[in-house]
Structure 1
Amino acid sequence: MKHLASTRSGDAYAALIDNLRDFIDTEVIPRENLETAQDGDETRRIARDLQALAQARGLGAPRGRREDGGLALSWTECCAYLEQAGRSFLGPLALRCAPPTQPDVFALESLASPAQRERYLLPLMRGERASCFAMTEPAPGVGSDPRMLATSARRTPDGWVIDGHKWFISGAMRADFAIVVARTESGSSWFLVDVDTPGFRIVRDIPTMEPFDMGGHAEILLQDLHVPADALIGEEGKGLAHSQLRLEGARLFHCMRYIGLASRAMGIAQEYACRRESQGVKLADHQMVQAMVADAHIQLYAARQMTLDVARRLDAGESIRHHSSMAKVFVAEAVYQVADSAVQMCGALGVSEDIPVSMILRMLRPFRIYDGASEVHRAAIARRALNHGLAA
């Protein structure tokens, strides 16, 4: 695995973060129209405008190559960058680091063949094409248990034929190609599939609780889908290992972005508590409110430190499987609790859509399911600790 190490000086990095913070505050957040939060076409239009503005300010995909307009940041440097970007629903879209693009890039950088790099990876990195990762299936297919993978790929003289049923495929409504996970004779395998290939059919966009989702969550039918032999990504039968590689970066990026979003929710709630009165005093003077604020700051501080530690390990080339699972579980639950406290502090206003706090809560809730449910991670953490005698 090639790990990018930035040559940017401390002052230059601080200036970059200041530039990004100002961009999010002055350009991105003002374009959040809560009334059109469920309009994917409008979100795409705004995102395109913001991408141009970001590029003009020297802001781009944090892990992208400089020759493609990216910043080539280390994972450690990404922590502050993604937290700032994540303060807005639209920030990751504006900076071309929203899922599923970023984790797909991360995986394909290691696995793509030279021909696949030219046709899929490089256009994806430049923002010329969009991707999706097609793994999840309706019951009894694969969900949290990868052994339940039902989609099949059988070898033919000129390639592969794929049959299966996928759903909740994030980003598929705007994707140009999909990474399809299917079972071959050797086990789980990955395939690159252009969405206009005969046999690839989007059934519907499944509505979810998340606002400002420009890529949707599609249900897809794969029926007698023929792909060439070179559609196989990496090694046949190594799909589980490939998925773990992809998820390591995905989990970490989610943690960074969602810390920013939770921090924004608490900031809104704190400002409200300092001006709203109850029982003859400001909400901020009530000890119950003070306890929620204190707990939120403690949780976000711990979440940042865990995320930063995993990022440093990733930069050092260490395996982060165990630590990223722990960070994912903790951060997913911490940011949701912070947002929930923000809603509580804002009262009836908090559950309305006059301010973005309730939408932030809805955005954060699925993270306890995405990239592995918290319960599955806890079981895996415990098994590793018990089987390998890991010290707590």
Structure 2
Amino acid sequence: MDLTQSPRSVALAERLRDFMAKHVYSNERRFFLEAERLGPWALYPVVDEIKAKAKAAGLWNLFLPGHEVEGGLTNLEYAPLCEIMGRSLFAPELFNCSAPDTGNMETILRYGTEAQKARWLDPLLAGETRSAFAMTEPEVASSDATNIGSSIVRDGDSYILNGRKWYTTGATHPRCSIIIFMGKSDPDGADVYRRQSMILVPPETPGVTVIRALPVMGFYGVPDRASEVLFDNVRVPADNMLLGEGRGFEIAQGRLGPGRIHHCMRLIGLAERVLEQMCRRAEQREAFGRTLAEQTVTLERIAQSRVAIEQARLLTLKAAMMMDTVGNKAARQEIAMIKVAAPSMVQQVIDHAIQMFGGGGTNNDHFLTTAFATARLLRLADGPDEVHRNQIAKLELRRHREQDPALTGGDSKPLTIVEARASGADGLWPRPSAA
């Protein structure tokens, strides 16, 4: 398994680190203050200022896949770059590499018509607009996407949409220009995975109402502007359909695979940042006559964090490499494994850090609470842990079902009577006499 980074990826990583040091870390406090004071419906001036610098520096749209776009990067090449951006919760947007836009741009790039690309993809790639993704619903268990109740009904040259969505990321952004909406176009179809479709909905369309911004563990608009949106008899042209009726699940799988691993790549960077904060704090603070760094519990937590980060990084890189070499479908178990492992790992690392920082770790002075909220959210976003664990286990059972246990030594059957008698163990010890 060759995880060596290409010279191009190494060079981009160095430029990214330099940009982050010059423009990002020093502006984080300003970002959080603007987000808190201006609210989730506003533009944050600091974001626009730094985005212009990132675009001018050529650190732009790095997420674009090499197999889709000339000059794009492979997943393995992008992984360390995404990790660097993930060290700051507001950095990905600065490079036009944040959710939900990356997934939406890839979706329109891969499945959209030329007209759809010209109208919505090009402005997104230029960073002139933002987008939203409307899949999850409050009234059903959306971890099973076959439960989706929103409707997409054909009416002449249009479709009429009805549904209530929430945790629709990006919908409160003033520059949101397009929403990808998932609903049922064939609710009674025999194949439950062909009942759904995805369609493009401009947010200014009559009947679209962004009801409210939703907090994530108390944080509004950071980092993804979660929202609740009502679609009430929304009429959109039939030309807005993506790929065709009944192709919603197919699109979702194509969209969510890369999105899941991008989240994990960013989380590795977030964990590294938090571990660095822990180490520096441990050497600066004293308790009971010793620095925290001299206390065994601190050393254990730092060591555990380092081991966990390295394990998660290696699994992330393996999944990225497999996506590049054998494709997303063949890599689905690895993608599911890292989607389970990374958020839980980061959540634990951040929890260690909060404990070390004490009261200051709970008030966001050190950005630990927003980091924790993000890690906890990502145990639900793009499929909850339970769904991914089920998939991992089913794929594992299938793999062993298809193997001959005689070739692997994996037979679980007990010894037969004959095998037990022939094992020889009975002759190792004398039987007690029947006195």
TM-score norm. by structure 1 comes to 0.91
Name the counterpart of 1:343: 354
Residues 285/71 of structure 1: CA separation in 2 closer, same or farther (3 Å cut):
farther
Looking at structure 1, the residues matched to 373 and 34 of structure 2 have their Cα atoms a distance apart, in angstroms, of 15
Q: Is the partner of 1:220 in helix, strand or coil?
A: strand
Q: 1:316 aligns with which of 316, 322, 325?
A: 325
SS in 2 for 1:359: helix
Alignment match, 1:181: 182
Alpha-carbon shift at residue 349 of structure 1 (Å): 2.3
1:110-134 per-position Cα deviation (integer Å, ceiling 9, x unaligned) = 2111211111222222222221111
| Distance in 1 between residues matched to 2:6 and 2:308, nearest whole Å | 30
- 1:227 alignment counterpart: 236
- Give the match for residue 122 of structure 1: 122
Matched-pair contact (CA < 8 Å) for 2:6–2:77: no
How many Å separate the matches in 1 of 2:35 and 2:153?
41
Report deviation, 1:243. Answer: 0.7
Q: Deviations over 1:84-140 (max 9, x none)?
A: 11111221011111100011112222211121111122222222222111111111x
- Report 1:40-59 matches (<5 A): 40=40, 44-59=44-59
Which whole-Å deviations, capped at 9, do the CAs of 1:149-184 have from their partners, x for residues lacking one?
A: 100111111121111111110111122111100101
1:131 and 1:219 map into 2 onto residues whose CA distance is 14
Residues 233-312 of structure 1 mapped to structure 2, 5 A cutoff = 233-312=242-321
* AA partner of residue 197 (structure 1): T
Paired position in structure 2 for 1:194: 202
SS in 2 for 1:165: strand
Does structure 2 conserve the Cα–Cα contact (< 8 Å) formed by 1:64 and 1:70?
A: no
Pairing of 1:54-65 with structure 2 (within 5 A): 54-64=54-64
CA 1:71–1:214: 2 relative to 1, 3 Å: farther
Structure 1 window deviating more from structure 2 (356-365 vs 328-337): it is 356-365
Deviations 1:336-367 (CA, angstroms, capped at 9, x unpaired): 11111111122222223322223222222111
The residue type paired with residue 31 of structure 1 is N
8 A contact 2:40–2:213 mirrored in 1: no
Structure 1 gaps, min length 5: 1-7
Alignment partners' CA distance in 2, 1:195 and 1:212: 18
The superposition leaves residues 32-60 of structure 1 with CA deviations (integer Å, 9 ceiling, x where unpaired) of 12444434467632111111111232211
- Structure with higher RCO (Cα < 8 A, 6+ apart): 1
Partner of 1:5: none
TM-score, normalised by the number of residues in structure 2: 0.83
Tell me if structure 2 keeps the 8 A contact 1:142–1:150: no
DSSP 3-state at the match of 1:274: helix
Matched to 2:242, the amino acid is: I
Whether the 8 Å CA contact 1:332–1:368 is kept in 2: the answer is yes
CA shift in 2, pair 1:71/1:60, >3 Å:
farther
Task: Give the Å deviation of 1:213.
Answer: 2.1
If you compute each CA radius of gyration, which structure gives the higher value, 1 or 2?
2
C-alpha separation between the residues in 2 aligned to 1:42 and 1:32? 17
Distance 1:180 1:211, change over 3 A: closer
| % same residue | 31
Structure 1 residues 70 and 327: alpha-carbon distance in aligned structure 2, compared to 1, 3 A threshold: same
1:365 aligns with: 376
Are 1:62 and 1:70, in contact at CA under 8 Å, matched by a contact in 2?
no
> Does the Cα contact within 8 Å between 1:31 and 1:46 map onto a contact in 2?
yes
Cα–Cα, structure 1 residues 202 and 47, in superposed 2: closer, same or farther, change >3 Å?
same
**CA contact under 8 A between 2:65 and 2:75: conserved in structure 1?**
no
